[in-house]
A and B are shown apart, each in its own frame.
Chain A
């Protein structure tokens, strides 16, 4: 596919403004000097006004939802032009979430792998234990601005569900989370947390009873509740403007990482890695780096149990452009257009679609996408536990597996930076069960 790299209108916001929105320094309200920011590049200008990232993205939803998407787009444009909104969000990110998240050198893991240094951006240390809270607080503020009092969300691993329930608890919003019945089984700790935070967790029994079906059910709820309800999507997927909004809120990860790298090393990392399901932590990390073409970007999908259809969830590695959940992007489907069943040990990566911006980055060759399998992820989980004293989420473990592999191929003066997107306590019981053991 050939793509014309143009530069869209971006909801009336210039690329410079977009970059200045998210940077966040160690001192609250300290704005990063422009000189340290990447030059706005054409690749960073997406989406255009129709929500396209190159040929990908757009809006493929029933007419009933169009008014709400227009409203959200207008509210978001107004919000990012509003200094008070930015300050409120920064304050929450600082005092409530605990940002900036640290940069951490994994010395023993590095020694074990032998090769390039492995560093982590510690999103697992955020309040609620993952990067998801960066986005849910932003979208909860948008919910309040739109005068809505009810929030719905989908969740796979439960990280986004917990982060949404937390934001709703914080602001006193009603919260309903749709979760596949299979995911409810394998992510019990997060289900309990959501309920304790006052959210209603609705089990989705249709289809494969995982993340994809949870998104279907959330969209159906939104069809009838759209006037009073905001749908806080948890990843960079769905119809415009969701992929852009979620990316912008999550790009605090990448902006901090650039600043921390420059402070710590006087330089940027040689390669940056993140796991990709829908792709929100990866999009948040990669986006500010996209214009820095000297930094290699690597997305790691779920290779599951094998390359055959149905055994993996590696959408960009094995899929084709198609339509799912409101946008045009790579998707795993059969040649009739029916969505394929997918498999991953990790509930958060167990999804047959991917964000449209990742599809663009793949097709222009800016990001390299690999797959790590179930067993690779489990092995990486064990290494992290025993060498670093960190239980990473199974989603994150896929990126760690790829990082270990990459480190071995590279000289010791290189640095790899990996998003440690979430913590793994939620997965402990499922891992024990899979190994046939007892607690």
Chain B
């Protein structure tokens, strides 16, 4: 059984939810990325997304764009990120968030093979809609990786059902139409949308885009299997660095923030108001 499926099976058996933090690989360097994945892993976080920096990320807001730019300015290469992933021990299992531009350039077979060898357990390719994903999906299955499909607020019910037929790992529900980044409020219709998705799939459902704090996590918990926290975390790290935090301080802050969110997800088992 692919590792992502195994993780969610165990969590569901325990009635728990998954917090999935997102880290930009190489922001500000790969040692930091490895330290963060290891520290959150030891704190009980099972899965983490690592974003492969890309020069033209059209789904990302200013926070993640800036982090990608910082990482690329230091000369970061795909092979460096994969080498860092391969060096992880006792860490959160990495799911790669990668533009199709990078995968295509290296070749699907080669890219996925190397990702699997490096220990990635899944891929999220945000600019590859399901119509174009057949070849990549087949290769991922062959290598034991889950290719996570995204569903957006603009996705019609018919289309959502078609996408879910080929989905594996978990379903990534994009909470708001727009780019990544913190939002003060999540859309009020979100629980309804998630309930509809539940009708159509048994796969775990995780929500990302716009989530920023424990209040959001608490509100989402009853409706989801997991929550992805990206820009809010990247922003927090950037601010910590601007204050002159050491690597240890940065890691402590990230672990505290993630554990707070994880606790908020765990404590809430009944629907609460969105705000």
Question: Complex Cα distance A212/B104, Å?
Answer: 19
**Residues of B contacting A220 in the complex (Cβ-Cβ under 8 angstroms):** 58-61, 179
Verify if A29 is at the interface (C-beta below 8 Å from B): no
Decide: A336 near B156, CB < 8 A? Known: A60-B127, A60-B132, A223-B59.
no
Question: Complex Cα distance A219/B101, Å?
Answer: 16
Task: Please determine whether B154 and A337 come into contact, CB atoms closer than 8 angstroms.
Answer: no
CB of A225, distance to nearest CB on chain B (Å): 8
Task: Please determine whether B179 and A227 come into contact, CB atoms closer than 8 angstroms.
Answer: no
Task: Please determine whether B152 and A337 come into contact, CB atoms closer than 8 angstroms.
Answer: no
Question: Complex Cα distance A67/B177, Å?
Answer: 11
- Mark out the residues of chain B between 104 and 136 whose CB falls within 8 Å of any chain A CB in the assembled complex: 104-106, 126-129, 131-132
Question: Complex Cα distance A322/B150, Å?
Answer: 22
Verify if B93 is at the interface (C-beta below 8 Å from A): no
Verify if B274 is at the interface (C-beta below 8 Å from A): no
CB of B85, distance to nearest CB on chain A (Å): 16
Question: Complex Cα distance A206/B68, Å?
Answer: 12
Chain A interface residue count, Cβ-Cβ cutoff 8 angstroms: 34
* Chain A 198-222 interface mask (CB, 8 Å, partner B; 1/0): 0000000011000010001001100
Decide: A58 near B132, CB < 8 A? Known: A207-B55, A335-B105.
yes
* Chain B 60-74 interface mask (CB, 8 Å, partner A; 1/0): 110001000100100
**Residues of B contacting A59 in the complex (Cβ-Cβ under 8 angstroms):** 129, 131-132
Task: Please determine whether A337 and B132 come into contact, CB atoms closer than 8 angstroms.
Answer: no
- Mark out the residues of chain A between 134 and 172 whose CB falls within 8 Å of any chain B CB in the assembled complex: none
**Residues of B contacting A32 in the complex (Cβ-Cβ under 8 angstroms):** none
Which among B65, B99, B155, B178 is the interface contact of A67 at CB below 8 angstroms? B155
Question: Complex Cα distance A223/B177, Å?
Answer: 6
Task: Please determine whether A60 and B128 come into contact, CB atoms closer than 8 angstroms.
Answer: yes
CB of B60, distance to nearest CB on chain A (Å): 8
**Residues of A contacting B102 in the complex (Cβ-Cβ under 8 angstroms):** 336-338
CB of B43, distance to nearest CB on chain A (Å): 31
Decide: A223 near B131, CB < 8 A? Known: A67-B159, A323-B101, A338-B54.
no
**Residues of B contacting A339 in the complex (Cβ-Cβ under 8 angstroms):** 55-56, 101
Q: Which residue on chain A has the smallest CB distance to residue B130?
A: A63
Verify if A328 is at the interface (C-beta below 8 Å from B): yes
CB of B210, distance to nearest CB on chain A (Å): 11
Q: Which residue on chain B has the smallest CB distance to residue A323?
A: B101
Question: Complex Cα distance A61/B58, Å?
Answer: 8
CB of A350, distance to nearest CB on chain B (Å): 15
Decide: A62 near B59, CB < 8 A? Known: A323-B100, A337-B104.
yes
Task: Please determine whether B152 and A216 come into contact, CB atoms closer than 8 angstroms.
Answer: no
CB of B136, distance to nearest CB on chain A (Å): 11
Decide: A62 near B58, CB < 8 A? Known: A50-B131, A224-B178.
yes
Chain B interface residue count, Cβ-Cβ cutoff 8 angstroms: 41
Q: Which residue on chain A has the smallest CB distance to residue B60?
A: A220
**Residues of B contacting A64 in the complex (Cβ-Cβ under 8 angstroms):** 59, 152-154, 174, 177-178
Task: Please determine whether B55 and A66 come into contact, CB atoms closer than 8 angstroms.
Answer: no
Task: Please determine whether B151 and A63 come into contact, CB atoms closer than 8 angstroms.
Answer: yes
Task: Please determine whether A63 and B129 come into contact, CB atoms closer than 8 angstroms.
Answer: yes
**Residues of A contacting B174 in the complex (Cβ-Cβ under 8 angstroms):** 62-64
* Chain A 313-335 interface mask (CB, 8 Å, partner B; 1/0): 00000000011111010000101
**Residues of A contacting B35 in the complex (Cβ-Cβ under 8 angstroms):** none
Q: Which residue on chain A has the smallest CB distance to residue B66?
A: A206
**Residues of A contacting B159 in the complex (Cβ-Cβ under 8 angstroms):** 66-67
Verify if B77 is at the interface (C-beta below 8 Å from A): yes
Question: Complex Cα distance A124/B159, Å?
Answer: 44
- Mark out the residues of chain B between 10 and 63 whose CB falls within 8 Å of any chain A CB in the assembled complex: 54-61
Which among B58, B131, B155, B176 is the interface contact of A219 at CB below 8 angstroms? B58
Decide: A62 near B65, CB < 8 A? Known: A212-B56, A337-B99, A338-B55.
no
CB of B175, distance to nearest CB on chain A (Å): 11
Verify if B78 is at the interface (C-beta below 8 Å from A): yes
**Residues of A contacting B176 in the complex (Cβ-Cβ under 8 angstroms):** 224
Decide: A63 near B150, CB < 8 A? Known: A219-B58, A224-B176.
yes
Question: Complex Cα distance A323/B128, Å?
Answer: 10
CB of A49, distance to nearest CB on chain B (Å): 11
30 A–B contact pairs at CB < 8 A?
A: A50-B131, A58-B132, A59-B131, A60-B100, A60-B101, A62-B59, A62-B126, A62-B150, A62-B174, A63-B129, A63-B155, A63-B174, A67-B156, A67-B159, A207-B69, A220-B60, A220-B61, A223-B59, A223-B178, A322-B101, A323-B104, A323-B127, A325-B58, A333-B101, A335-B105, A336-B102, A336-B105, A338-B54, A338-B55, A338-B102
**Nearest 9 pairs of A and B residues by beta carbon:** A337-B105, A224-B178, A337-B102, A64-B152, A323-B101, A67-B154, A219-B58, A62-B59, A338-B55
Known A212-B56, A216-B58, A220-B59; further 15 A-B contacts with Cβ < 8 A: A60-B132, A64-B152, A64-B153, A65-B154, A67-B154, A206-B69, A219-B58, A224-B179, A333-B101, A336-B77, A337-B54, A337-B103, A337-B104, A337-B106, A338-B54
